[in-house]
Structure formats: C-alpha cells, structure tokens
Amino acid sequence: MNDRLYIVVPCYNEEEVLPETARRLKEKMTALMGAGKIAPDSRVLLVNDGSKDRTWELICSLHGEDGLFSGLDLTRNRGHQNALLAGLMTARERADMVISMDADLQDDIDAVDEMVDKYREGCDIVYGVRSSRKTDTFFKRFTAEGFYRLMNFLGANVVFNHADYRLMSRRALDGLAQFKEVNLFLRGIVPMIGYRTDTVEYERGERFAGESKYPLKKMLSFAMEGITSLSTKPIRYITTLGFLIFMVSIVMIVYNVARWCTGNTVTGWASLACSLWAIGGLILLALGVIGEYIGKIYLETKGRPRFLIREVLEDRDEKVD
Ligand code: UDP
Ligand code: MG
C-alpha cells in the first residue's frame, strides 16, 4: 500500500490563479498515482483564508467536479501561517505525508516528485529551498536574504532561502501539533521538531497571476514576528549594552582621576559625566536582567515540548500494538 499524500494550499483572494493551480496539481497528482508513488486516495486540500473574492466558490466547484480536491473554509482571514497550520492539522489525521505550497505557482510543482522520493527514502521533513532569486526584484532579494542572516544572528534557526514549501511526514506533523504557541512562525518551529531532514532545490518563479498578498507592511510584521517569537536574544543585547556603558563610566573615572593627579581639571564636570554614564549603564543593565526573566516567562508560556521521541526499543512479554 502506497502512502497517502495531501497537498495543502492556503488561498487568500486567489480566484485568478486557482483554476490553473488546480489543473497543474491534478496533472502532478495523477502522474504520481500512475507511477505508484502515492496512494490513489491522495488529495489536494485547498484552504480558503477568509477570501473576499470567489475563491471559496471555486474550491466548492472543484470539489464537486473532482474528488481529488478537498476544501477547508476558515471563518475569517487569519493570515498565511494560520491558514497553513489549519490545513496541516486537518491533513495530519488523513495523510501519511503532507506538502504545503503557495497557491500562486511560485513554488515549482515539479519539486514534488523529489520530495516524495526523499520521503520514501526515509526523510520526515523535506525543505524546498530556492536555488536562486533571479525572478525577485533587487529589493525583495536584498530584504529577504538580510532577513535570513539577521534571524540566524539572533539565534533563530531557520533554513536559508526556504519559504513554506515543504514535505512533512505524519509523525513530524504530530510533533508540530505539540507546539502550542499562538504567535506562529512555522519556518522557525519546523527545524525544532528534528527527525531526518533533507532539502530539495527548485527555481522560484514569478507569481502566475494576481498580486502578492504580502505587501511591505505585512512582510515587516512577519519578520518581527519571526524574531520575537523565536528568540529572546535581543534582551541579552540590552544587558550587554548596559554592561558596556557601565564600563565606559569606569574608564571615565580612571581618566578623570589621572587628570586630577596632573592638575588638569574642570570643576564639577568629572562627577557629572561619570555619574551620567554609570547611571545610564546601570539602568540598562537592570532592564536587561528584568528582561531575562520576562524572556524566561515568555518561553515558558509557549509550552513547547521539551523533547520528541523518534522510537522506543523495548522488550515486552505480550505484544502490544
Ligand atoms: N495567503 C493566505 N492568507 C493571507 C495572505 C496570503 O492564505 O492572509 C496565501 C496566499 O494565497 C498564497 C500564500 O499565502 O497562497 C503566499 O502569499 P503570496 O504569494 O501573496 O506571498 P509572496 O509570495 O508574495 O511572499
Ligand atoms: Mg507568492
């Protein structure tokens, strides 16, 4: 029996691209089924993220025409990450492997074959990584790559140039389900799950039709979300800054004592300048320490799993299944 594949596609106002996306997905799924790589009851799950256009009507008619297409309708627009999670969690109960991709055909559908092959070789998570950003504008490329570097610098472990195009096995999704956080940044959480992972390279094309649903403002808040939901390192930098500024005041005290010894002093200046730096440094240091505790509370409230078990080896008297 082959494994069942679900392809999850979040859609927000995608009426222009959906018919073409559905056509290509159907082609791909039929080919995979024909080659015997996936089960015949595999599905494409289209998630409607509170679209204001005819997206849901389109999904309904696709479902009516062909049982390959399933649909999921969210009550209102909850954003890409939440729509994706809704799809993944629904597919988890029905599938053995799930691939998430965008509706706009920017993710090369042909990479699906390689992902499925890697899954069959035993990988639990396969990341789609874009090989180049030729089709992006200079601005998008510059900001996006800068963002990945900043994320890694701030201690958030993200896969370079990987968006949300990936395959996850059912047990990897079970792992993901244990991350209860509300501020969702899937790209940062998925690498925390573990298991055997691999990457597949693909060329990211241009949006097939319609407009990007990620204008600069949304992109910035997404980046901010990514950093603050994964890392408390910024707080650590405040502590370091406070310490450095306090050090400056020590250097100033030494400098002023030396000046006093040589008789070169301006009355009142030394004490004022030194205490300014000392107090500033101490306040920042104190804020940093308080921040450390708040950071700890923050991470605790996320209630992330402390470990996930891949396998248990154990002898038993009676066979339990
Ligand atoms: N999307 C969504 N909800 C939103 C915004 C976007 O489900 O609030 C979906 C959208 O339909 C698409 C995917 O997320 O399938 C990626 O969006 P888009 O292609 O506009 O982003 P970009 O590729 O420009 O970064
Ligand atoms: Mg896109």
Which CATH class, in words, describes the domain spanning 5-213+306-320? alpha beta
What sign results for the dihedral spanned by CA atoms 28, 119, 201, 135?
positive
The response to whether residue 87 sits with its C-beta less than 6 Å from ligand 1 reads no
DSSP result, 253-276: HHHHHHHHHTT---TTHHHHHHHH
pLDDT of amino acid 170: 94
Question: Of ligand 1's atoms, which has the minimum distance to the CA of residue 78?
Answer: 8
Ligand 1 atom 1: residue of nearest CA: 80
The response to whether residue 15 sits with its C-beta less than 6 Å from ligand 1 reads no
Tens-place pLDDT, residues 122-143: 999 999 998 876 667 777 778 8
Q: Among 12, 49, 101, 225, which residue has the most ligand 1 atoms within 8 Å of its CB, making it the best to mutate?
A: 12
Q: Are 109 and 28 in contact (CB under 8 A)?
A: yes
pLDDT category at 318 given cuts 50, 70, 90 is low
The response to whether residue 106 sits with its C-beta less than 6 Å from ligand 1 reads yes
Provide the 8-state DSSP code for 14.
-
Q: Where in the chain are the domains?
A: 5-213+306-320, 233-302
Rounded Cα distance between 122 and 120, Å, is 5
Question: What is the pTM assigned to this prediction?
Answer: 0.81
Tens-place pLDDT, residues 143-195: 878 888 888 888 777 888 888 999 999 999 999 999 988 888 898 889 999 99
